């Protein structure tokens, strides 16, 4: 198992490197001059040129890429933000926990709401429970998240005054953004759970369990659910990407200084280091979560675990 994890971690290198080069090239190609963005509109061409020189923007593509990669690899230094005039890494570490918190809470919501919805639907296939749960689920993916966010704010903050409408200053502040952001995830989760549950319910070992004399509830909890969870876990991993992307919008609506806002701000001001490093950070987080998902998968499914173990053994032979 350890070897497998190691191998997966090593596989992350080409992916993250690819992401780095890709995002670097995107920023290189994007029109918009960071020097101009930094200086006031009255700046003269000479001043702009001087700034470009200072920022190292006049060097050729490969030299810049090389320096950037070198910085990351040798010093774990993503460079300084031009707007914030500070090491990007520091700010990222500041902001990342907020984004991550939102993402994690969203995933939590997704699990504790989406999965039961899916189960209800599957158990009452084609019944009322199914219809209602699936309608809720479909609803969730049919509304833009910013719209949901604004509606939630109007209702819970303005009308009822229960929750703060923006900012980040304690647990209460996470509730609305997380709900707004979790909606599509909940929906996807519910649907996925339903279909994988339906598949499992039809399988032979469920009949076996029934033939043992177990009650439907026991069967559901002990046999059906654990098996149905497998494909559901994959969704959680994939949904992470969507969640992280969704936070860009959510953070801006709720004025949450997370990585999404940082990234969008970075794009707007052409602060290359911010953009590059945020994306790399997100990519790292994403690949890492995917790894965790795979491990969780293995944890639940002995068949997969066995595969890992085998690979492990083979490693010893070799």
Partner 1 sequence: AKEVEKPVEEPAAPAATEAPAVTEAPAATEVPAATEAPVEELALPEIVSIAIGADPADLAPFVGMSMGRIAVLKTIYEYLIETDSMGGAAVPMIAKSWEKTGDKVYKITIFDNVYDSAGNHITAADVAWSYNTAKELGNLRPLGDIVSISAVDDVTVNLEVKSNFGPGGLEKVLSECPIVSQKAYEASPDGFATKPITSGPYLLTEYVPGSSLTFERREDYWQTDPQYRTLFSQANVKKIVFKVITEAAQNAIALETGNVDIAAGVTQDDLARFMNNPAFTTFNFLDNLTQNLQFNGSEGHPLTNKELRQAIAYAIDTSAMCEAVAPGACTPAHTIGNPNFGGYLKKWESEPYYEYDLEKAKELFAASGHTPGELTFKLLAQNDARSGLMAQIIQAQLGELGIAVEISQVESAVYNQIQYDPTAYDLLLAMSAGGDFIFSPWQLVYDQNRYNGTTSNFFKDDELQSLLATVSSLEGFNEANVDAFQQYQKEQLYAYGMLSFNSIIVADSGVLKVVRDTRGQVIPGACEYAADFNK
Partner 2 sequence: MTALVEVKNLKKYFETPRGMLHAVDDVSFSIERGKTMGIVGESGCGKSTLGRVIIHLLDSTDGQIFFEGKDITHANPRQLRKLRENMKIIFQDPYSSLNPRLTVEETIKEPLIISKKYSAKAANDEAERLMNMVGIDQRLRLAYPHELDGGRRQRVGIARALALNPKFIVCDEPVSALDVSIQAQVLNLLQDLQDQFELTYMFVTHDLSVVRHISDDICVMYLGKLVETCESKELFKHPLHPYTQALISAVPTIDIHHKKERVILEGEITSPINPKPGCRFKKRCTYHTTQCNEPQHLEEVLPRHFVACCRVREINHI
Partner 3 sequence: MHNSSAITAITQKNKKQSQFAVVLRRLSKNPSAIIGLIVVCLLVIMAIFAPLIAPYPYDKQNLLNTRKPPSAEHIMGTDELGRDIFSRIVYGSRYSLSIGFLAVLFSNIIGMTLGALAGYFGGLVDDIIMRLIDIIQSIPGILLAIAISVVLGPGFINTLIALGFGAITMACRLMRASVLGIRHQEFLEAAISNNASTFRIITKHVIPNSFAPVLVGATMSIGNVIMSAAMLSFIGLGIQPPTPEWGAMISGGRALIRSCPWMVTFPGIFIMLTVLAFNMLGDGLRDALDPKLKK
Residues that bind partner 1 (CB under 8 A): 30-33, 36-45, 47, 50-51, 81, 83-86, 91, 94-95, 150, 153-154, 157-158, 161, 164-169, 252-258, 261-262, 265, 268-270
Q: Quick check: helix, strand or coil at residue 42?
A: coil
**Dist. CA 112–CA 145, nearest whole Å:** 19
CA-nearest of 309, 291, 296 to 229 is: 296
When binding is defined by CB under 8 A, the residue of 157, 239, 313, 316 that contacts partner 2 is 313
Kindly state whether residue 2 participates in binding partner 3, applying the rule CB under 8 A: no
Kindly state whether residue 172 participates in binding partner 2, applying the rule CB under 8 A: no
The radius of gyration of the chain's CA atoms, rounded to the nearest angstrom, is: 24
206 neighbors 133 (Cβ within 8 angstroms): no
Least Å distance between CB 159 and partner 3? 11
Query: Residue 82 is inside which H or E element, if any?
Result: none
Kindly state whether residue 303 participates in binding partner 2, applying the rule CB under 8 A: no
**Dist. CA 258–CA 248, nearest whole Å:** 8
What x-and-dash track marks residues 282-301 binding partner 3 by CB under 8 A? xx--xx--------------
Kindly state whether residue 159 participates in binding partner 2, applying the rule CB under 8 A: no
Kindly state whether residue 311 participates in binding partner 2, applying the rule CB under 8 A: yes
When binding is defined by CB under 8 A, the residue of 242, 293, 295, 309 that contacts partner 3 is 242
**Cα–Cα–Cα angle for 284, 17, 1, rounded to 5 degrees:** 55
Q: Quick check: helix, strand or coil at residue 143?
A: coil
Which residues are CB-neighbours of 256 under 8 A, at least 6 positions away? 98, 102, 166, 167, 168, 173, 177, 247, 250
Least Å distance between CB 77 and partner 1? 16
Kindly state whether residue 142 participates in binding partner 3, applying the rule CB under 8 A: yes
What x-and-dash track marks residues 254-283 binding partner 3 by CB under 8 A? ------x--xx--x-------x---x--xx
Least Å distance between CB 310 and partner 2? 5
First vs last C-alpha separation in the chain: 16
Least Å distance between CB 217 and partner 3? 26
Q: Which stretch binds partner 2 (CB under 8 A): 80-88, 123-131, 252-260, 303-311?
A: 303-311
Least Å distance between CB 213 and partner 1? 57
Task: Give burial (CB, 10 Å; 0-12/13-18/19+) of 286.
Answer: buried
CA-nearest of 49, 30, 75 to 272 is: 30
Helical spans, DSSP H, in the chain: 2-29, 34-38, 45-55, 61-75, 88-109, 115-123, 128-142, 145-152, 172-201, 204-211, 216-219, 225-253, 259-268, 272-300, 302-317
- Residues of this chain that interact with partner 3 (CB under 8 A) are 11, 14-16, 18-19, 22-23, 26-27, 29-32, 131, 134, 138-139, 141-147, 150, 154, 191, 195, 241-242, 244-245, 248-249, 260, 263-264, 267, 275, 279, 282-283, 286-287
Residues that bind partner 2 (CB under 8 A): 307, 310-311, 313-314, 317
């Amino acid at each position: 198992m350890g070897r497998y994890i190691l191998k997966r971690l090593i596989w992350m290198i080409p992916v993250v490197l690819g992401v780095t080069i890709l995002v670097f090239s995107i920023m290189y190609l994007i029109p918009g001059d960071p020097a101009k963005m930094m200086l006031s509109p009255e700046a003269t061409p000479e001043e702009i040129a001087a700034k470009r020189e200072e920022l190292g923007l006049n060097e050729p593509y490969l030299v810049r890429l090389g320096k950037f990669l070198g910085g990351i690899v040798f010093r774990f230094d993503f460079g300084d933000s031009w707007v914030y005039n500070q090491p990007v890494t520091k700010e990222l570490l500041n902001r990342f926990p907020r984004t991550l918190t939102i993402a994690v809470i969203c995933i939590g919501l997704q699990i504790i709401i989406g999965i039961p919805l899916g189960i209800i639907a599957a158990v009452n296939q084609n019944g009322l429970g199914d219809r209602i749960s699936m309608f809720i689920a479909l609803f969730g993916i049919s509304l833009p998240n910013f719209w949901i966010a604004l509606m939630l704010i109007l209702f819970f903050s303005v009308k009822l005054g229960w929750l703060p409408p923006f900012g980040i200053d304690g647990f209460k502040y996470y509730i609305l953004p997380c709900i707004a952001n979790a909606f599509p995830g909940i929906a996807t989760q519910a649907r996925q759970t339903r279909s994988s549950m339906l598949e499992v319910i039809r399988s032979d070992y469920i009949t076996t369990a029934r033939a043992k004399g177990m009650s439907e509830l026991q069967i559901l909890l002990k046999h059906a659910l654990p098996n149905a969870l497998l494909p559901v876990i994959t969704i959680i991993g994939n949904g992470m990407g969507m969640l992280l992307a969704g936070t860009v919008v959510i953070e801006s609506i709720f004025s949450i200084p997370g990585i999404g806002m940082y990234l969008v701000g970075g794009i707007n001001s052409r602060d290359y280091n911010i953009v590059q490093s945020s994306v790399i950070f997100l990519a790292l987080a994403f690949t890492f979560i995917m790894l965790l998902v795979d491990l969780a998968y293995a944890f639940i499914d002995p068949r997969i675990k066995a595969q890992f173990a085998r690979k492990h053994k083979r490693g010893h032979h070799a």
